[in-house]
Amino acid sequence: MSERDIVAILGFVSLFGMMLVRVPVGIAMGVVGVSGFAAIVGWGPALNLLATSPIRTVTDTNLSLVPMFVLMGVLATNSGLSRELFRAGNAWLGQLRGGLALATVGACAGFAAICGSSVATAATMTNIALPEMKRFGYPDDVSTGVIAAGGTLGILIPPSVVLAVYAFITNQDVGKLFVAGIVPGILAIIFYMLTVQIVHGRRLPSGERQSLRERLVALRGVWAVGLLFIAIIGGIYAGIVTPTEAAAAGAALTAIIGILRGRLGPRALVSSLAEALRTSVSIYMILIGALLFGYFLTITQTPQKITSFLVALDLGAYPTLALVLVFFLLLGCILDAMAMIILLVPIVFPVVQALGFDPIWFGIIVVMTVELGLITPPVGMNVFVINSITPNISLYQIYKGVMPFVLVDILRLILLVAFPAIVLFLPRTMQ
Protein backbone atom coordinates (compact mmCIF):
# COMPACT_ATOMS: atom_id res chain seq x y z
CA MET A 1 0.00 0.00 0.00
CA SER A 2 1.46 3.34 -1.08
CA GLU A 3 1.61 6.59 0.87
CA ARG A 4 -1.21 8.04 -1.23
CA ASP A 5 -3.44 5.06 -0.48
CA ILE A 6 -2.87 5.50 3.26
CA VAL A 7 -3.64 9.24 3.00
CA ALA A 8 -6.82 8.46 1.02
CA ILE A 9 -8.05 5.94 3.61
CA LEU A 10 -7.29 8.27 6.52
CA GLY A 11 -9.01 11.09 4.64
CA PHE A 12 -12.25 9.17 4.16
CA VAL A 13 -12.23 7.91 7.75
CA SER A 14 -11.73 11.48 8.97
CA LEU A 15 -14.48 12.77 6.68
CA PHE A 16 -17.12 10.34 7.88
CA GLY A 17 -15.92 10.76 11.47
CA MET A 18 -16.49 14.52 11.29
CA MET A 19 -19.88 14.05 9.67
CA LEU A 20 -20.89 11.65 12.47
CA VAL A 21 -20.16 14.35 15.08
CA ARG A 22 -22.32 16.81 13.06
CA VAL A 23 -19.58 18.88 11.43
CA PRO A 24 -21.21 20.56 8.38
CA VAL A 25 -20.45 18.53 5.28
CA GLY A 26 -18.90 21.48 3.41
CA ILE A 27 -16.48 22.19 6.27
CA ALA A 28 -15.63 18.49 6.66
CA MET A 29 -14.88 18.08 2.94
CA GLY A 30 -12.80 21.27 2.92
CA VAL A 31 -10.71 20.24 5.96
CA VAL A 32 -10.03 16.76 4.53
CA GLY A 33 -9.32 18.20 1.08
CA VAL A 34 -6.75 20.74 2.28
CA SER A 35 -5.14 18.44 4.87
CA GLY A 36 -4.93 15.48 2.50
CA PHE A 37 -3.48 17.61 -0.29
CA ALA A 38 -0.94 19.07 2.15
CA ALA A 39 0.09 15.59 3.35
CA ILE A 40 1.21 14.69 -0.17
CA VAL A 41 2.25 17.98 -1.80
CA GLY A 42 2.92 20.32 1.12
CA TRP A 43 1.16 23.07 3.04
CA GLY A 44 2.18 25.87 0.68
CA PRO A 45 0.25 24.58 -2.37
CA ALA A 46 -2.60 23.40 -0.10
CA LEU A 47 -3.10 26.85 1.43
CA ASN A 48 -2.93 28.36 -2.04
CA LEU A 49 -5.89 26.14 -3.04
CA LEU A 50 -7.73 27.27 0.08
CA ALA A 51 -7.20 30.90 -0.98
CA THR A 52 -8.31 30.50 -4.60
CA SER A 53 -11.10 27.88 -4.45
CA PRO A 54 -13.79 30.09 -2.84
CA ILE A 55 -13.24 32.83 -5.43
CA ARG A 56 -13.27 30.30 -8.26
CA THR A 57 -16.55 28.80 -7.05
CA VAL A 58 -18.38 32.05 -6.34
CA THR A 59 -17.38 33.62 -9.67
CA ASP A 60 -18.26 30.56 -11.78
CA THR A 61 -21.02 31.75 -14.12
CA ASN A 62 -22.32 28.20 -14.55
CA LEU A 63 -23.35 28.21 -10.89
CA SER A 64 -25.16 31.55 -10.96
CA LEU A 65 -28.43 29.76 -11.78
CA VAL A 66 -28.44 28.06 -8.35
CA PRO A 67 -29.21 31.19 -6.23
CA MET A 68 -31.72 32.32 -8.88
CA PHE A 69 -33.68 29.07 -8.69
CA VAL A 70 -33.46 29.15 -4.90
CA LEU A 71 -34.86 32.69 -4.93
CA MET A 72 -37.65 31.64 -7.30
CA GLY A 73 -38.67 28.85 -4.94
CA VAL A 74 -38.69 31.16 -1.91
CA LEU A 75 -40.73 33.80 -3.74
CA ALA A 76 -43.21 31.14 -4.90
CA THR A 77 -43.61 29.86 -1.35
CA ASN A 78 -44.11 33.32 0.12
CA SER A 79 -46.61 34.33 -2.58
CA GLY A 80 -48.95 31.45 -1.71
CA LEU A 81 -48.73 29.50 -4.98
CA SER A 82 -48.53 26.21 -3.11
CA ARG A 83 -51.91 26.76 -1.43
CA GLU A 84 -53.54 27.57 -4.77
CA LEU A 85 -52.07 24.45 -6.34
CA PHE A 86 -53.59 22.31 -3.62
CA ARG A 87 -56.94 24.08 -3.94
CA ALA A 88 -57.01 23.44 -7.71
CA GLY A 89 -56.02 19.79 -7.26
CA ASN A 90 -58.72 19.34 -4.65
CA ALA A 91 -61.33 20.94 -6.92
CA TRP A 92 -60.68 18.45 -9.71
CA LEU A 93 -59.74 15.30 -7.78
CA GLY A 94 -61.24 15.77 -4.32
CA GLN A 95 -64.53 14.02 -5.05
CA LEU A 96 -62.71 10.71 -5.73
CA ARG A 97 -61.84 8.22 -2.99
CA GLY A 98 -58.48 9.36 -1.75
CA GLY A 99 -58.96 12.55 -3.74
CA LEU A 100 -57.18 14.74 -1.20
CA ALA A 101 -54.14 12.46 -1.37
CA LEU A 102 -54.20 12.66 -5.19
CA ALA A 103 -54.53 16.45 -4.96
CA THR A 104 -51.52 16.52 -2.62
CA VAL A 105 -49.38 14.58 -5.12
CA GLY A 106 -50.45 16.95 -7.90
CA ALA A 107 -49.77 20.03 -5.77
CA CYS A 108 -46.34 18.65 -4.79
CA ALA A 109 -45.52 18.18 -8.47
CA GLY A 110 -46.64 21.69 -9.40
CA PHE A 111 -44.79 23.26 -6.51
CA ALA A 112 -41.68 21.19 -7.27
CA ALA A 113 -41.66 22.65 -10.77
CA ILE A 114 -41.04 26.13 -9.36
CA CYS A 115 -39.33 25.31 -6.08
CA GLY A 116 -36.70 22.66 -6.89
CA SER A 117 -36.33 21.59 -3.26
CA SER A 118 -37.74 18.37 -1.79
CA VAL A 119 -37.47 19.50 1.82
CA ALA A 120 -39.23 22.81 1.09
CA THR A 121 -41.99 20.99 -0.82
CA ALA A 122 -42.55 18.53 2.04
CA ALA A 123 -42.59 21.29 4.67
CA THR A 124 -44.96 23.51 2.70
CA MET A 125 -47.42 20.73 1.88
CA THR A 126 -47.44 19.50 5.48
CA ASN A 127 -48.80 22.88 6.55
CA ILE A 128 -51.34 23.05 3.71
CA ALA A 129 -52.53 19.52 2.91
CA LEU A 130 -52.23 17.71 6.25
CA PRO A 131 -54.95 19.74 8.08
CA GLU A 132 -57.38 19.11 5.20
CA MET A 133 -56.71 15.36 5.19
CA LYS A 134 -57.13 15.27 8.96
CA ARG A 135 -60.46 17.09 8.61
CA PHE A 136 -61.77 14.36 6.29
CA GLY A 137 -60.54 11.52 8.53
CA TYR A 138 -57.44 10.34 6.66
CA PRO A 139 -55.22 8.00 8.73
CA ASP A 140 -52.03 9.73 9.89
CA ASP A 141 -49.76 7.19 8.22
CA VAL A 142 -51.43 7.67 4.83
CA SER A 143 -51.51 11.47 4.90
CA THR A 144 -47.91 11.91 6.05
CA GLY A 145 -46.64 9.15 3.74
CA VAL A 146 -48.20 10.86 0.72
CA ILE A 147 -46.66 14.22 1.65
CA ALA A 148 -43.20 12.70 2.31
CA ALA A 149 -43.23 10.86 -1.02
CA GLY A 150 -44.71 13.79 -2.95
CA GLY A 151 -41.99 16.03 -1.55
CA THR A 152 -39.32 13.95 -3.31
CA LEU A 153 -40.64 15.25 -6.63
CA GLY A 154 -38.88 18.54 -5.84
CA ILE A 155 -35.46 17.03 -6.47
CA LEU A 156 -36.33 15.63 -9.93
CA ILE A 157 -38.93 17.78 -11.67
CA PRO A 158 -37.07 20.68 -13.31
CA PRO A 159 -35.80 23.12 -12.37
CA SER A 160 -33.85 21.09 -9.81
CA VAL A 161 -30.97 22.52 -7.76
CA VAL A 162 -29.52 19.02 -7.31
CA LEU A 163 -29.50 18.43 -11.08
CA ALA A 164 -27.78 21.80 -11.53
CA VAL A 165 -25.08 20.80 -9.03
CA TYR A 166 -24.65 17.42 -10.78
CA ALA A 167 -24.18 19.26 -14.08
CA PHE A 168 -21.50 21.46 -12.50
CA ILE A 169 -19.61 18.52 -11.00
CA THR A 170 -19.66 16.40 -14.17
CA ASN A 171 -19.41 19.27 -16.69
CA GLN A 172 -22.70 18.31 -18.38
CA ASP A 173 -25.33 20.44 -20.11
CA VAL A 174 -27.73 21.51 -17.35
CA GLY A 175 -30.43 22.30 -19.91
CA LYS A 176 -30.43 18.71 -21.22
CA LEU A 177 -30.53 17.42 -17.63
CA PHE A 178 -33.59 19.55 -16.86
CA VAL A 179 -35.38 18.34 -19.99
CA ALA A 180 -34.37 14.73 -19.24
CA GLY A 181 -36.13 14.99 -15.86
CA ILE A 182 -39.56 15.77 -17.37
CA VAL A 183 -40.70 12.27 -18.38
CA PRO A 184 -39.35 10.53 -15.21
CA GLY A 185 -41.08 13.26 -13.18
CA ILE A 186 -44.40 12.61 -14.96
CA LEU A 187 -43.95 8.86 -14.39
CA ALA A 188 -43.37 9.53 -10.68
CA ILE A 189 -46.63 11.47 -10.45
CA ILE A 190 -48.59 8.71 -12.22
CA PHE A 191 -47.01 5.95 -10.11
CA TYR A 192 -47.67 7.82 -6.84
CA MET A 193 -51.32 8.41 -7.76
CA LEU A 194 -51.76 4.75 -8.73
CA THR A 195 -50.19 3.72 -5.41
CA VAL A 196 -52.70 5.86 -3.51
CA GLN A 197 -55.60 4.26 -5.38
CA ILE A 198 -54.36 0.65 -5.30
CA VAL A 199 -52.94 0.50 -1.76
CA HIS A 200 -55.17 2.94 0.12
CA GLY A 201 -58.10 3.82 -2.14
CA ARG A 202 -60.74 1.58 -0.51
CA ARG A 203 -60.23 2.91 3.02
CA LEU A 204 -59.98 6.59 2.14
CA PRO A 205 -63.03 8.87 2.11
CA SER A 206 -64.27 10.98 -0.76
CA GLY A 207 -64.04 14.74 -0.56
CA GLU A 208 -66.52 17.45 -1.42
CA ARG A 209 -67.87 17.43 -4.96
CA GLN A 210 -67.51 20.78 -6.71
CA SER A 211 -69.32 22.17 -9.72
CA LEU A 212 -67.66 22.72 -13.09
CA ARG A 213 -67.73 26.46 -12.48
CA GLU A 214 -65.92 26.04 -9.14
CA ARG A 215 -63.31 23.82 -10.79
CA LEU A 216 -62.64 26.37 -13.52
CA VAL A 217 -62.40 29.16 -10.96
CA ALA A 218 -59.84 27.11 -9.01
CA LEU A 219 -57.66 26.92 -12.12
CA ARG A 220 -57.32 30.69 -12.19
CA GLY A 221 -54.97 30.53 -9.25
CA VAL A 222 -52.48 28.18 -10.92
CA TRP A 223 -51.92 29.91 -14.25
CA ALA A 224 -48.74 31.41 -12.83
CA VAL A 225 -47.22 27.94 -12.27
CA GLY A 226 -47.92 26.93 -15.86
CA LEU A 227 -46.50 30.21 -17.14
CA LEU A 228 -43.30 29.81 -15.11
CA PHE A 229 -42.78 26.18 -16.16
CA ILE A 230 -43.35 26.92 -19.85
CA ALA A 231 -41.16 30.02 -19.72
CA ILE A 232 -38.26 28.22 -18.04
CA ILE A 233 -38.27 24.67 -19.42
CA GLY A 234 -39.85 25.61 -22.76
CA GLY A 235 -37.30 28.37 -23.27
CA ILE A 236 -34.41 26.03 -22.47
CA TYR A 237 -35.78 23.24 -24.69
CA ALA A 238 -36.31 25.58 -27.64
CA GLY A 239 -32.84 27.07 -27.23
CA ILE A 240 -34.27 30.56 -26.76
CA VAL A 241 -32.53 31.10 -23.41
CA THR A 242 -29.67 29.50 -21.54
CA PRO A 243 -30.41 27.81 -18.19
CA THR A 244 -28.79 30.75 -16.38
CA GLU A 245 -30.96 33.26 -18.27
CA ALA A 246 -34.03 31.10 -17.60
CA ALA A 247 -33.24 31.03 -13.86
CA ALA A 248 -32.94 34.82 -13.70
CA ALA A 249 -36.12 35.29 -15.76
CA GLY A 250 -37.97 32.75 -13.57
CA ALA A 251 -37.02 34.58 -10.36
CA ALA A 252 -38.04 37.94 -11.88
CA LEU A 253 -41.36 36.58 -13.20
CA THR A 254 -42.20 35.00 -9.84
CA ALA A 255 -41.52 38.30 -8.08
CA ILE A 256 -43.60 40.27 -10.61
CA ILE A 257 -46.53 37.83 -10.37
CA GLY A 258 -46.43 37.96 -6.57
CA ILE A 259 -46.33 41.77 -6.54
CA LEU A 260 -49.14 42.20 -9.11
CA ARG A 261 -51.38 39.82 -7.14
CA GLY A 262 -50.68 41.68 -3.92
CA ARG A 263 -48.91 38.71 -2.30
CA LEU A 264 -45.41 40.19 -2.07
CA GLY A 265 -45.02 43.51 -0.34
CA PRO A 266 -41.70 45.23 0.46
CA ARG A 267 -41.30 43.35 3.73
CA ALA A 268 -42.03 39.96 2.11
CA LEU A 269 -39.57 40.69 -0.70
CA VAL A 270 -36.77 41.59 1.74
CA SER A 271 -37.55 38.48 3.80
CA SER A 272 -37.49 36.32 0.65
CA LEU A 273 -34.14 37.75 -0.45
CA ALA A 274 -32.65 37.11 3.00
CA GLU A 275 -33.93 33.51 3.07
CA ALA A 276 -32.66 32.82 -0.45
CA LEU A 277 -29.29 34.30 0.50
CA ARG A 278 -28.97 32.03 3.54
CA THR A 279 -29.84 28.93 1.50
CA SER A 280 -27.52 29.90 -1.37
CA VAL A 281 -24.60 30.55 0.99
CA SER A 282 -25.03 27.10 2.55
CA ILE A 283 -25.02 25.50 -0.93
CA TYR A 284 -21.92 27.47 -1.95
CA MET A 285 -20.14 26.40 1.24
CA ILE A 286 -20.75 22.77 0.30
CA LEU A 287 -19.56 23.40 -3.27
CA ILE A 288 -16.35 25.09 -2.06
CA GLY A 289 -15.72 22.13 0.23
CA ALA A 290 -16.42 19.79 -2.68
CA LEU A 291 -13.91 21.60 -4.89
CA LEU A 292 -11.20 21.28 -2.21
CA PHE A 293 -12.12 17.63 -1.70
CA GLY A 294 -11.87 17.14 -5.46
CA TYR A 295 -8.20 18.19 -5.36
CA PHE A 296 -7.67 15.59 -2.64
CA LEU A 297 -9.31 12.92 -4.81
CA THR A 298 -7.17 13.94 -7.77
CA ILE A 299 -3.87 13.88 -5.90
CA THR A 300 -4.63 10.48 -4.32
CA GLN A 301 -6.04 9.15 -7.65
CA THR A 302 -8.95 7.60 -5.74
CA PRO A 303 -11.52 7.74 -8.60
CA GLN A 304 -9.08 6.16 -11.05
CA LYS A 305 -8.24 3.36 -8.62
CA ILE A 306 -11.88 2.65 -7.86
CA THR A 307 -12.65 2.63 -11.59
CA SER A 308 -9.80 0.20 -12.27
CA PHE A 309 -10.93 -2.03 -9.41
CA LEU A 310 -14.57 -2.21 -10.50
CA VAL A 311 -13.73 -2.69 -14.17
CA ALA A 312 -11.22 -5.43 -13.25
CA LEU A 313 -13.98 -7.34 -11.44
CA ASP A 314 -15.47 -7.91 -14.90
CA LEU A 315 -19.02 -8.08 -13.57
CA GLY A 316 -20.44 -6.47 -16.67
CA ALA A 317 -21.86 -2.98 -17.14
CA TYR A 318 -25.27 -3.41 -15.52
CA PRO A 319 -24.17 -5.50 -12.50
CA THR A 320 -21.49 -2.87 -11.78
CA LEU A 321 -24.08 -0.10 -12.14
CA ALA A 322 -26.36 -2.00 -9.75
CA LEU A 323 -23.51 -2.16 -7.24
CA VAL A 324 -22.99 1.62 -7.51
CA LEU A 325 -26.71 2.35 -7.08
CA VAL A 326 -27.00 0.04 -4.05
CA PHE A 327 -24.06 1.95 -2.54
CA PHE A 328 -25.90 5.23 -3.15
CA LEU A 329 -29.10 3.78 -1.71
CA LEU A 330 -27.40 2.60 1.49
CA LEU A 331 -25.58 5.87 2.06
CA GLY A 332 -28.79 7.75 1.26
CA CYS A 333 -30.19 6.37 4.49
CA ILE A 334 -27.64 8.35 6.51
CA LEU A 335 -26.53 11.27 4.29
CA ASP A 336 -28.25 14.39 2.96
CA ALA A 337 -29.16 14.31 -0.76
CA MET A 338 -26.94 17.24 -1.74
CA ALA A 339 -24.04 15.83 0.29
CA MET A 340 -24.37 12.48 -1.48
CA ILE A 341 -24.26 14.04 -4.95
CA ILE A 342 -21.28 16.24 -4.16
CA LEU A 343 -19.35 13.59 -2.24
CA LEU A 344 -19.94 10.47 -4.31
CA VAL A 345 -20.49 11.54 -7.92
CA PRO A 346 -16.84 12.63 -8.49
CA ILE A 347 -15.78 9.15 -7.29
CA VAL A 348 -18.20 7.01 -9.31
CA PHE A 349 -18.58 9.16 -12.44
CA PRO A 350 -15.34 7.85 -14.03
CA VAL A 351 -16.68 4.33 -13.46
CA VAL A 352 -19.90 5.21 -15.28
CA GLN A 353 -17.96 6.72 -18.18
CA ALA A 354 -15.69 3.66 -18.40
CA LEU A 355 -18.75 1.40 -18.59
CA GLY A 356 -20.15 3.44 -21.49
CA PHE A 357 -23.31 4.82 -19.84
CA ASP A 358 -24.76 8.15 -20.95
CA PRO A 359 -23.89 10.85 -18.35
CA ILE A 360 -27.26 12.63 -18.78
CA TRP A 361 -29.13 9.38 -18.17
CA PHE A 362 -26.93 8.55 -15.19
CA GLY A 363 -27.66 11.99 -13.71
CA ILE A 364 -31.39 11.25 -13.67
CA ILE A 365 -30.84 7.71 -12.34
CA VAL A 366 -28.56 8.85 -9.51
CA VAL A 367 -30.91 11.69 -8.53
CA MET A 368 -33.80 9.20 -8.39
CA THR A 369 -31.68 6.95 -6.16
CA VAL A 370 -30.94 9.93 -3.94
CA GLU A 371 -34.71 10.58 -3.82
CA LEU A 372 -35.15 7.27 -2.07
CA GLY A 373 -32.75 8.41 0.65
CA LEU A 374 -35.13 11.26 1.48
CA ILE A 375 -37.85 8.84 2.62
CA THR A 376 -35.98 5.72 3.77
CA PRO A 377 -35.03 4.98 7.38
CA PRO A 378 -33.15 5.73 9.52
CA VAL A 379 -32.56 9.30 8.30
CA GLY A 380 -35.19 10.21 5.72
CA MET A 381 -34.92 13.99 5.57
CA ASN A 382 -38.52 14.52 4.40
CA VAL A 383 -39.79 12.24 7.16
CA PHE A 384 -37.94 14.21 9.83
CA VAL A 385 -39.20 17.52 8.42
CA ILE A 386 -42.81 16.33 8.63
CA ASN A 387 -42.23 14.94 12.13
CA SER A 388 -40.78 18.27 13.29
CA ILE A 389 -43.91 20.10 12.10
CA THR A 390 -46.32 17.46 13.50
CA PRO A 391 -44.56 15.95 16.56
CA ASN A 392 -47.82 14.23 17.61
CA ILE A 393 -47.39 11.84 14.64
CA SER A 394 -44.62 9.31 15.32
CA LEU A 395 -41.76 8.53 12.97
CA TYR A 396 -43.02 4.92 12.85
CA GLN A 397 -46.38 6.04 11.44
CA ILE A 398 -44.74 8.23 8.80
CA TYR A 399 -42.34 5.49 7.71
CA LYS A 400 -45.25 3.01 7.62
CA GLY A 401 -47.15 5.32 5.28
CA VAL A 402 -44.20 5.98 3.01
CA MET A 403 -43.06 2.35 2.45
CA PRO A 404 -45.47 1.62 -0.47
CA PHE A 405 -44.04 4.66 -2.26
CA VAL A 406 -40.49 3.43 -1.62
CA LEU A 407 -41.34 0.14 -3.34
CA VAL A 408 -42.90 2.00 -6.27
CA ASP A 409 -39.82 4.21 -6.57
CA ILE A 410 -37.60 1.11 -6.77
CA LEU A 411 -39.86 -0.26 -9.53
CA ARG A 412 -39.63 3.06 -11.42
CA LEU A 413 -35.85 3.06 -11.04
CA ILE A 414 -35.62 -0.46 -12.49
CA LEU A 415 -37.85 0.60 -15.41
CA LEU A 416 -35.66 3.59 -16.32
CA VAL A 417 -32.45 1.55 -15.98
CA ALA A 418 -33.89 -1.10 -18.29
CA PHE A 419 -35.15 1.46 -20.84
CA PRO A 420 -32.78 4.47 -21.02
CA ALA A 421 -34.70 5.86 -24.00
CA ILE A 422 -37.47 6.98 -21.64
CA VAL A 423 -35.01 9.46 -20.14
CA LEU A 424 -33.02 10.36 -23.25
CA PHE A 425 -35.80 10.82 -25.81
CA LEU A 426 -36.46 14.51 -25.11
CA PRO A 427 -32.83 15.64 -24.60
CA ARG A 428 -31.88 14.08 -27.95
CA THR A 429 -34.45 16.25 -29.73
CA MET A 430 -32.80 19.45 -28.47
CA GLN A 431 -30.59 21.59 -30.68
3-state secondary structure the chain: CCHHHHHHHHHHHHHHHHHHCCCCHHHHHHHHHHHHHHHHHCHHHHHHHHHHHHHHHHCCHHHCHHHHHHHHHHHHHHCCHHHHHHHHHHHHHCCCECHHHHHHHHHHHHHHHHHCCHHHHHHHHHHHHHHHHHHCCCCHHHHHHHHHHHHHHHHCCCCCHHHHHHHHHHCCCHHHHHHHCHHHHHHHHHHHHHHHHHHHHHHCCECCCCCHHHHHHHHHHHHHHHHHHHHHHHHHHHCCCCHHHHHHHHHHHHHHHHHHCCCCCHHHHHHHHHHHHHHHHHHHHHHHHHHHHHHHHHHHCHHHHHHHHHHHCCCCHHHHHHHHHHHHHHHHCCCCHHHHHHHHHHHHHHHHHHHCCCHHHHHHHHHHHHHHHCCCCCCCHHHHHHHHHCCCCCHHHHHHHHHHHHHHHHHHHHHHHHCCHHHHHHHHCCC
**421 — pLDDT class (breaks 50, 70, 90):** very high
- Does residue 188 lie in a domain region? yes
pLDDT of residue 410: 92
Number of domains the chain is built from:
2
Question: CB–CB of 165/243 below 8 Å?
Answer: no
Angle between helices 99-115 and 81-93 (to 10 degrees): 150
Which pLDDT tens digit goes with each residue over 156-176? Answer: 888 888 888 899 889 898 899
User: Taking Cα atoms as reference points, which of 20, 36, 13 lies closest to residue 293?
Assistant: 36
Same domain, 49 and 115: no
Q: Based on the fold, state whether residues 235 and 369 are members of the same structural domain.
A: yes
Residues 77 and 204 in one domain: yes
Residue where a domain stops, chosen among 300, 328, 359: 300
pLDDT of 74 reads 86
* Structural domain includes residue 10: yes
Residue 366 confidence (pLDDT) above 70: yes
| 245 and 326 assigned to the same domain | yes
In a domain, 132, yes or no: yes
The answer on 80 and 23 residing in a single domain is no
Q: Which domain holds residue 411?
A: 60-264+301-428
Q: What is the pLDDT of residue 190?
A: 94
Pair (287, 351) in one structural domain: no
pLDDT at 379 over 80: no
Q: Indicate whether 294 belongs to any domain.
A: yes
Confidence at 409, pLDDT banded by 50, 70, 90: very high
Q: Of the segments 50-64, 110-124, 241-255, 403-417, which one has the largest average pLDDT value?
A: 403-417
Q: Can you give the pLDDT at residue 431?
A: 62
Average pLDDT over residues 285-289: 86
Least confident of 104-108, 159-163, 309-313: 309-313
**Tell me, what's the pLDDT at 364?**
94
Residues 150 and 16 in one domain: no
Does 275 map to a domain? Answer: no
Does position 38 have pLDDT exceeding 80, yes or no?
yes
Mean residue pLDDT of the chain comes to: 85
Domain shared by 173 and 137, yes or no: yes
Question: Is 374 in the same domain as 417?
Answer: yes
Instruction: Tell whether 271 is covered by a domain.
Output: no
Dihedral pair phi/psi, residue 210, rounded to 5°: -120, 150
- Specify whether 224 is located in the same domain as 320: yes
- The predicted pLDDT at position 145 comes to 92
Task: Tell me what the mean pLDDT of segment 390-395 comes to.
Answer: 87
The pLDDT value given to residue 316 = 82
* One domain for residues 171 and 73: yes
Q: Which of 62-76, 95-109, 170-184 holds the top average pLDDT?
A: 170-184
pLDDT at 212: 77
Which amino acid type is present at position 292? L
**Is residue 134, in this structure, part of any structural domain at all?**
yes
pLDDT score of 180 more than 90: yes
* Average pLDDT, integer, range 314-338: 80
Choose one of 273, 300, 327: the last residue of a domain. 300
Which of 281, 256, 279 has its CA nearest to residue 269?
256
On whether residue 274 sits in a domain, the answer given is no
What pLDDT, on the 0 to 100 scale, is given for residue 334? 67
Span 128-150, mean pLDDT? 89
Residue 291 binned pLDDT confidence (cut-offs 50, 70, 90): confident
The residue-averaged pLDDT of 23-52 equals: 88
Q: Give the pLDDT confidence score for residue 118 in this predicted structure.
A: 80
Q: Report the alpha-carbon distance of residue 196 to residue 139 in Å, rounded.
A: 13
Helix axes 65-78, 81-93, angle to 10 degrees: 60
Average pLDDT value for residue range 51-72: 84
190 shares a domain with 79: yes
